Structure 1
Amino acid sequence: MTLTAAVQDTMDNGNSDLRQQVRQRLQEQGIEFILAQFVDIHGAPKVKQVPVNCFEGLIDEGAGFAGGAVWGLGQGPESHDLMARTDLATYCRLPWRPNVAIASCDLYVDDEPWPYCARNNLKRMMGIFAAEGYALNGGFEPEHFLVMRRPDGGLMPWDPQGIDKLAKPCYDFKGMCQAMDYLQDIIRYGNQMGFDIYQSDHEDANGQYEINFGWSDALTSADRLTLFRMMAGQVATKYGAICTFMAKPFQNRTGSGAHLHFHVADVLNRRNLFPLKKGEKDRKGLGISKTAVHYVGGLLKHIRAITAVASPTVNCYRRIQSGEFVYSTASGYTWTPAYASYGDNNRTQLFRCPDSNRFEDRSPSGMVNPYLLLATHMAAGLDGIKNEIDPGEAILRENVWNLSHEERRKRGMILLPQNLMEAIEALEEDEVVKSGLGPIADEYIRLKKAEWSEFMRQVTPWEVSRYLTML
């Protein structure tokens, strides 16, 4: 038997063993139905509900979908079926629906992996990254609002006791206690599904909350964020609230991000490659290695194109403020970087280094498709490592927001795109970031241009108020 055949035989045996373990677990848990789940180009989850006795078929053949009915999957009504095949490693029971299990799926067409599937694409980029000796690990911090509809159809923060009114409500005891049952459900359910949630809090805006996940590989982190959003939306209804990950639902309140803590590891031994090696010179004053410096260099070089993926909707750019004019929220801060910088442990940086073992990317919006973001991260970061891109001097112990715009520009800080079309144009011109998306790039650009065009046809109340009687 050849080495390749022996490895394949081992994999097949492993899959057979895992299949038996999952089958037994489903039986022991009393599972009656399985949700076969994947995401569209926006990151919105799509599912089919399948009786548990069809478990084998979900793995071998998959659940069939009409791809033209889903955004951004490169299909029309004439296309052959998308077959969503479940990943055995992702099966888990839904704690709030204990007779239902869910599994993440990879999409196939005519028995071949479908390249427009965001999960397949991320696995493709992980393979490219691994071939260079690297693995990307990380964890998201999904900020979100609990809101309610006013009688006139507008939004207001969920505030059943009428106490979440502070101008600076972040970490507020009363505000958090009001949502304690919701947050405890989220943590309890999330950890039953293996999320390793280690804390939660009331965030900077009224009605806004954040959950912190543990570390994992890129694929698991993307799966977790997707499932978390599904869970939070269902749990919120129990308390009469709507859970929204919309980046900026309120004009005068802080927006919602999905901050990503990340590091690059050795693909073979999983050792974190970001801290300085013994005897290596600390070139940036952050205790980080050459690998970390160049990875961040790649991210900064390509940040304008990455922003098109990190902030994927028109509304996301309400969150990214250039600060050219006086602007604030009720709390006094937006907490969102508009200029691309990196440096030490302060939250005015785009890439914050809380410790030498990781960076935090503070740019992603709460609306981000995590599969696409992580794929572009690896493409840009790998470009940085291979070409030894220098990110410039780190910002140490300085408030970037207090620097003048001229000073920021002198230091080489790039202004992030200020609207969706500007970001999409940057993506169009960036072959490295587009390579991280594969064929999804063209579909993404097409759909986002259409979204911008539709938005530009809208006439808002602000425009009517400002211009109706100006002349």
Structure 2
Amino acid sequence: MATSLAELTRADGVRFILATFVDLAGKPCAKLVPVEAVDDLEADGVGFAGYAAGALGQQPYDPDIMAIPDVGSYTPLPFLREGLALVHCDPHVNGEPWPYAPRVILRRLLARMPYTPFVGAEVEYFLLKRDISGNVVVADGRDEAAQPCYDARGVTRMYEHLTTVSTAMNSLGWGNYANDHEDANGQFEQNFRFADALTTADRVITLRYVLHMLAERRDMIATFMPKPFTDRTGSGLHLHVSLWDGETPLFPGEDDPRGLGLSKLAYAFVAGVLDHAAGLHGVIAPTVNSYKRRGAATTSSGATWSPKRASYGGNDRTHLLRVPEGDRVELRGGDGSANPYLAIAAVLAAGLDGIERDLDPGDPSGPGRFADSAAELPVTLLHAVEALERDAVVREVLGAEVAAYYAGRKREEFFSWHNTVTPWELDTYLTAF
């Protein structure tokens, strides 16, 4: 079995490797490394100017970030370019893991967890294009139904794109098991099987990159923007989480009096996530646009599918935490702008805190109903950032300095938007007085 990048690339006929990492905002950064330099890449990594790369806590005068490849994440991409592969990297500075790097943050959290977490991710996205006026519109001009979800015709019209993505995922061993039209016009979801937490985070980043590239081939724009249209459903990043001890799943419970099939440990995990829900939103819904999705009153389809309160229940998609089966819980608050490394790390830390404090979430909310204890979730990015800053557990998983840096950037993002005059304001106020 191949154990080095050199062996892997030789076996696959790879000529170039994308040495890849993401910044705190989830921007994919890479250098294209020829296989002639693969030994140097594996031994020493490849250097980046961190300040230029993005939100990584660096200034122009700081030393290089060295992206050290994780050979286990090696991913051939022949369906994008013949001879191309990708490897996810852990950024280092002066020989030490860089604390502002999202993959490093998740690794640090996993190293202290007494359980093995497995995570599944539902990646929702839109396929769009620009019309002759430059406006963003749905790529499929026939996709106009008021309730397009699961529409067989919409799926068939996007057959070439969807099947290309599905075949790519299965060629990589991800186990694609469904591809569907989601609730908004132009919106799709392509599912793959759950894996360990780090692998799933890597795959979300890889899939976003692959979707961008394959959509561009057909003159489309793939976007994970939470809510690109005012009157339509937004895109989520739902996370299905379970904890294991070796080969033993820890969430299923026998004779659960609450009827969800969960163990006491699972309920404590749920309670931890609910207790930290407000602070978590600064990470799982990290943009101004996130709160256009979460705060939507309604959509053309009749539902927003975005929770507004910190509640949990059974197989009910109106809650922040859904328990579809007793083997896992689904966090429905994350959206398409979430950085998967940060989102998974923060959710696991919140759940672990619930376990360590032996919390109990109370009884589940019923279908379409919410317990009195279910707090309102943040209504804007600014509210979420303030909640994050008050939440010691979320701050700790990011790291104190990183949390302050991240919150500062997010506050600037909010006020940059807040200080921008929008068409809505002109329409509402221009001749109102």
2:223 paired with 1:239: no
Q: Matched residues in 2 for 1:79 and 1:283: separation? A: 56
Residue identity matched to 1:115 = P
Deviation string, structure 1 residues 248-286 (Cα, Å, up to 9, x no partner): 0001100000111111111xx132100015xxx514221
Q: Matched residues in 2 for 1:203 and 1:320: separation? A: 17
2:309 paired with 1:334: no
- 2:173 is matched with 194
- 2:82 is matched with 98
Residue identity matched to 2:156 = C
Residue identity matched to 1:367 = S
- 1:8 is matched with none
Cα deviation for residue 340 of structure 1 reads 1.4
Aligned residue pair count: 431
2:256 paired with 1:275: no
Residue identity matched to 1:110 = N
Deviation string, structure 1 residues 108-160 (Cα, Å, up to 9, x no partner): 1111111111101100000111xxx212111111100000112232211111x
- 2:157 is matched with 178
2:258 paired with 1:289: no
2:116 paired with 1:147: no
Alignment partner of 1:138 out of 119, 142, 163: 119
Alignment partner of 2:289 out of 289, 295, 315: 315
Deviation string, structure 1 residues 327-369 (Cα, Å, up to 9, x no partner): 3111111111111111111111211111000111111001100
2:354 paired with 1:384: yes
Q: Matched residues in 2 for 1:84 and 1:68: separation? A: 14
Cα deviation for residue 25 of structure 1 reads 3.1
Give secondary structure in 2 for the equivalent of 1:198.
strand
Judge conservation of contact 1:285–1:394 (CA < 8 Å) in 2: no
Cα deviation for residue 215 of structure 1 reads 1.0
Cα deviation for residue 165 of structure 1 reads 1.0
Q: Once superposed, what is the RMSD of the aligned Cα atoms?
A: 1.3
2:432 paired with 1:466: no
Q: Matched residues in 1 for 2:54 and 2:414: separation? A: 16
Q: Matched residues in 2 for 1:456 and 1:297: separation? A: 34
2:208 paired with 1:229: yes
Residue identity matched to 2:374 = M
Deviation string, structure 1 residues 284-310 (Cα, Å, up to 9, x no partner): 221100110000100000000001101
Q: How does 1:384-403 map to 2 (within 5 A)?
A: 384-396=354-366, 398-400=367-369
Give secondary structure in 1 for the equivalent of 2:420.
coil
Judge conservation of contact 2:6–2:35 (CA < 8 Å) in 1: no
Cα deviation for residue 23 of structure 1 reads 2.4
Q: How does 1:39-438 map to 2 (within 5 A)?
A: 39-94=22-77, 95-129=79-113, 133-159=114-140, 162-266=141-245, 269-277=246-254, 281-321=255-295, 327-396=297-366, 398-400=367-369, 408=370, 411-438=372-399
Structure 2: gaps spanning 5 or more residues: none
- 1:404 is matched with none
Q: Matched residues in 1 for 2:177 and 2:419: separation? A: 44
Q: Matched residues in 2 for 1:290 and 1:188: separation? A: 40
Judge conservation of contact 2:281–2:384 (CA < 8 Å) in 1: yes
Q: Matched residues in 1 for 2:3 and 2:402: separation? A: 31
Q: Matched residues in 2 for 1:141 and 1:46: separation? A: 23
2:416 paired with 1:442: no
Give secondary structure in 1 for the equivalent of 2:322.
strand
Cα deviation for residue 238 of structure 1 reads 1.7
Q: How does 1:5-44 map to 2 (within 5 A)?
A: 18-20=2-4, 22-44=5-27
What is the percentage of aligned positions where both structures have the same residue? 42
Cα deviation for residue 190 of structure 1 reads 1.5
- 1:9 is matched with none
Residue identity matched to 1:113 = P
Report the more deviating stretch, 144-153 or 216-225. 144-153
Give secondary structure in 2 for the equivalent of 1:124.
helix
Residue identity matched to 1:445 = A
Q: Matched residues in 1 for 2:10 and 2:421: separation? A: 55
Residue identity matched to 1:189 = A
Q: Matched residues in 1 for 2:247 and 2:26: separation? A: 28
Cα deviation for residue 457 of structure 1 reads 0.9
With the length of structure 1 as denominator, give the TM-score of the two structures: 0.89
Cα deviation for residue 71 of structure 1 reads 2.3
Judge conservation of contact 2:2–2:8 (CA < 8 Å) in 1: no
